A and B are shown apart, each in its own frame.
Chain A
Amino acid sequence: MSDKYFGKPVKRVEDPRFITGTGHYTEDMTLPGMAHAAMLRSPYASARIVSIDATRALAQPGVLAVLTGKDLLDAKIGSIPTGWLLPDLKTPPHYAIAPEVARHVGDVIAAVIAEDRATAEDAVALLDVELEPMDAVALGSDALAPAAPQVHPEAPGNVAFEWEIGDAAAVEENFARAYRTVKLTLRNHRLVPNAIEPRASMAQYQKASDEFTLWTTSQNPHIHRLLLAAFVLGIPEHKLRVISPDVGGGFGSKIFQYPEEVIVLHAARKLNRPVKWSARRSESFVSDAQGRDHETVAELAVDEHHKVLGLRVKTVANLGAYLTTFAPAVPTYLYGTLLNGTYRFPAVHAHVTGVFTNTVGVDAYRGAGRPEATYVVERMMSRMAHELGIDPAEFRRLNFIQPDEFPYQTPVALVYDSGNYEPALDQALERVGYAELRREQEEARARGRYIGIGFSSYLEACGLAPSKLVGQLGAQAGQWESAVVRVMPTGKVEVLTGSHSHGQGHETAFAQIIADDLQIPMEDVSIIHGDTGRMPYGWGTYGSRSAAVGGSAMKMATAKILDKARRIAAHLLEAAPEDVVHEDGKFFVRGVPANSKSFFDVALMAHLAHNIPDDMEPGLEAQHFYDPKNFVYPFGTHVAVVEVDADTGRVKLLKYVAVDDCGPMINPLIAEGQVHGGIAQGVGQALLENTVYDEQGQLVTGSFMEYAVPRADDLVQFDIGHTVTPSPHNPLGVKGIGEAGTIASTAATANAVIDALAPFGIAHLDMPYTPERVWRAIQAARAQTQQAADD
């Protein structure tokens, strides 16, 4: 291989279509004869569907059909399954259209299909529906109360599962001999992913061949096909083709198999016409799977040398009304296993209760369980440092796992394969100018200005995942990835990958890997993704897996191509394959570069097959299925610097430093871009974003008017650094970087705000740090101080 491209900030090859407005997103597509679907959604969090009278709607010109839950049941359309099972998990049915009871605001009650979208939406308003509202519950802990409304008869007490990890007795023992303990009640509030492209689906049915095609906004078209065909619609898997074209961001929310996909497929068959549905943003807020929503009590213990003795965590995880595709995995195996952080924690125990409520389903949102775990660990580390009166950075350093301790077995199942945490911390301290910054903070406080500095020395496990391991943990899916490298007679190459790009730049980064290994120009390589009709089977993109797992699959397939190409070249050169070298894009006998065969010569001969070894198959194409041996473990230290205005409660982000270790970067431009976006979403959670349901389960923050995604003027230019510790077990040495920014930044920002509030005696405050919340906390703290002085 060469390294002409690997590691270089190559400009993205996908960009020309996006900057000229010629990308092809699902909503941009039309088909001849296409009809449009619109959904009637429950306005109540819990309601019995008494009757639906479609007479007036059906009488409208242009209205083609009305579908109800009963229609789908009559058509033998099944429940949408969850893809991850835990012991004793309750799995109540999740029908695409609720047949009897709507269980959250936004649950689909009926669908109208019409000639155009406006007609369909008008007709929805003409459906005469009688709903009987029932008591609802929105908060996880409320749902566990004895008299709480029951979301599903199949889940008594609203408990979906109880799950634990770690050694409770060991934790108990270590806490008994602790020098100091701290305890916090932590609310990790709910988020709406809000990819800027709303979900959309378009279905086509070919009656003659009984075949379906679904264009949909999916991060993993094969998972969509598998679930839709085998579990929901009951059609043969090979009769459904799922195409996921350009997708405008996912962040987890486009992993899952959603009701509307079922509805358009069924409608297309029923009407024998293409049918499209596109979400309005107001629908996205009540139908895209949401993220986080934990209520946690955490306790941390240290000995007299300030070494951590143990962490004890009890979490109520709100799962919403239905278990979406990976919902059970997120607050368990993607959360509890990460509670060891980057530290030597001799004992950890976590207990998680998964709870049904009358809210939108909660599933993977950028980071998926790992930001929640990092928030607990990093918040507790800073809280303890404060309690001990020592520097939070030095407290972290003191407790880091040391480089010579890898592979490191944590008390919560994972084996960290590699890591070197101090250099990242040191670099972050240097970049932020730590000593000087602390002096500035002191001086500012003396002048009534409140600056805060917050740390997050995070670790994450990604590159999902070793299939055997996740199978033992309940996954109903494999987690390997596939690649086909197809060389054409002209030496041009197309690479088919089962992973999917929706902003991650696969078409560029993957081409860099292939072009280097084949020693051909990047322009000669096309990366093809997002179509079950073209790709080999693959599991898609989530869990920061594309580079580590998908990229590795490509690397291995390319090695097979090179091996065959070398044998063909040797045959043409009348030499032994082991004597043939591949340099500067040419094959030649070692020491005789003058007599060489180009990649083109070899590719052409492989296809002509006029002169290849007798025992060789013609063609030049290779496939590889790559199953990783372990997760990969990116880590780093992020530092946030904020200022709190004590008079208004407004928090301003002043500075943000991120030092990440994702191993070698295929393309630093792309990798750093992933970090930037990740930071924005994590800072967004800490300072701005919040999903608020009232006690009746009404979503109060149902549009961008109420739900504050970060805007350009909420953020700053980020200072990004790297350390490089390659993964020891994949052929590229790479580790995922798609989620790291989000995983680290919420905790760093929260710690910065609490640090700024320390002079007021505020030990903790739940996110998001909106001006009102911060102002109230300062007022309360001041009143308390005043009270104490008066007493």
Chain B
Amino acid sequence: MNRVPINLNVNGKATRSDVEPRQLLVHFLRDTLGLTGTHVGCDTSQCGACTVHVDGEAVKSCTLFAVQADGASVTTIEGLAHEGRLHALQEGFWEMHGLQCGFCTPGMIMSAADLLAHEPDPSEEQIRHALEGNFCRCTGYHNIVRAVRHAAEANARGASSEPVVAADD
């Protein structure tokens, strides 16, 4: 199959690649770049496990061909921690036990980050509404709601997060 060149900035790093036109962004991230933190949980764009940020907006990366992301800046869960510090949401999910098996967690965090970018002080209802496109089968969402609130409150306080201890890339 013919290949198409694309240029992306992924987690702050410029990358150039030749891709099959039919390749989904999520498979490009996972299989070509080895960024396996972004997961695939369904094939109908419901579960949200593959959520990443494309030019700052949360996008289910299974809904986009890699070629459609040409020229874009993509942030994945691996790129969320900043200057060696966990993102407030990573911290919040850890503090509030907002994850169990961890499979939905990257997508959940990326969606929640999008919410906080638009609404820094969301109510429980706003959090639940914003995350209805991300399935979690383990937590019943109870601690996910608390995790997002934890992050919102930490941001409001200007608290600094713990250093990344396990991002062994």
Does A762 sit within 8 A of B, measured CB to CB? no
Q: Could you say which of B53-61, B65-73, B134-142 contacts chain A?
A: B134-142
Which listed residue (A196, A247, A282) contacts B41, Cβ 8 A?
A196
Asked if B135 and A20 sit within 8 Å, CB to CB, the answer is no
Decide if A502 is an interface residue (CB 8 Å cutoff): yes
Q: Given A11-B94, A704-B42, are A18 and B137 neighbors across the interface (CB < 8 Å)?
A: no
Interface: A448 (CB within 8 A): no
A607 interface hit (Cβ, 8 Å): no
Asked whether A503 lies within 8 Å of B97 as measured between CB atoms, the reply is: no
A16 close to chain B: CB less than 8 A? yes
Question: Does B157 sit at the interface, judged by CB under 8 A?
Answer: no
- Summed over the interface, the residue pairs from A and B with CB atoms below 8 Å come to a total of 191
Q: Which of B32-88 contact A (CB under 8 A)?
A: 35-44, 46-47, 49, 76-78, 80-81, 86
Q: How many B residues have CB within 8 A of the partner chain?
A: 62
- Is A194 part of the contact surface with B, judged by Cβ < 8 Å? yes
* Chain B residues near A280 (CB-CB < 8 A): 43
Q: In the complex, are the beta carbons of A713 and B46 less than 8 A apart?
A: no
B131 interfacial contact with A, CB 8 Å: yes
Interface positions, chain B 88-131, Cβ under 8 Å from A, are: 90, 93-95, 97, 99-106, 109, 124-125, 127-129, 131
Residues in B whose Cβ lies below 8 Å from that of A718? 140, 142
A23, CB-defined interface residue at 8 Å? yes
Interface size on A, residues (CB 8 A): 57
CB <8 Å contact, A676 and B143: yes
In the bound complex, do residue B135 and residue A704 qualify as a contact, i.e. CB atoms below 8 Å apart? yes
A20 pairs with B167, CB closer than 8 A: yes
Q: Is the CB of B100 within 8 A of A673?
A: yes
The answer to whether the Cβ of B152 comes within 8 Å of any Cβ in the partner chain is no
- Per-residue CB contact flags for chain A residues 1-45 toward chain B (1 = under 8 Å, else 0) read 000000001011011111111111101100000000000000000
B10 within 8 A of A: no
Q: Are A20 and B37 in contact (CB under 8 A)?
A: yes
- B139 near A677: Cβ-Cβ < 8 Å: yes
Q: How far is the CA of A761 from the CA of B22 in the complex (A)?
A: 56
- Would A19 and B39 be within 8 Å (CB), given that A281-B44, A705-B44, A712-B128 are in contact? no
Give the residues in chain A near B141, CB-CB below 8 Å.
Answer: 676, 680, 710-712, 715
B132 x A711 contact (CB < 8 A): yes
Q: How far is the CA of A704 from the CA of B137 in the complex (A)?
A: 13
Smallest beta-carbon distance B107→chain A, Å: 9
Cβ of A17 to closest chain B Cβ, rounded Å:
5
Least CB distance from B49 to A in Å reads 6
- B81: chain A residues at CB < 8 Å are 20
- A21 B124 Cβ-Cβ under 8 A: no
Which residues in A have their C-beta under 8 angstroms from that of B86? 19-20
Which of A21, A197, A676 is the one whose CB lies under 8 Å from B78? Answer: A21
Q: In the complex, A195→B47 CA distance in Å? A: 11
B165 neighbours in A (Cβ, 8 Å): 16
A sample of 27 inter-chain contacts (CB < 8 A) reads A15-B94, A16-B94, A16-B165, A19-B99, A19-B105, A20-B78, A20-B80, A20-B167, A21-B37, A21-B106, A27-B39, A28-B36, A194-B137, A197-B41, A505-B100, A676-B141, A676-B142, A677-B139, A705-B46, A711-B135, A711-B141, A712-B134, A712-B136, A713-B128, A713-B129, A717-B145, A718-B142
Q: Which 8 A-B pairs have the closest CB atoms?
A: A21-B37, A248-B103, A18-B102, A680-B140, A503-B101, A16-B166, A21-B77, A503-B100
Q: Knowing that A21-B76, A681-B137 are A-B contacts, what are 12 other residue pairs whose CB atoms are under 8 Å apart, sorted by A's residue number?
A: A11-B95, A12-B94, A16-B167, A20-B167, A21-B37, A196-B47, A196-B135, A502-B101, A678-B140, A679-B140, A703-B43, A704-B46
Q: Which residues of A contact B (CB under 8 A)?
A: 9, 11-12, 14-25, 27-28, 118, 194-198, 246-249, 251, 280-282, 502-505, 669-670, 672-673, 676-681, 703-705, 709-713, 715, 717-718, 741
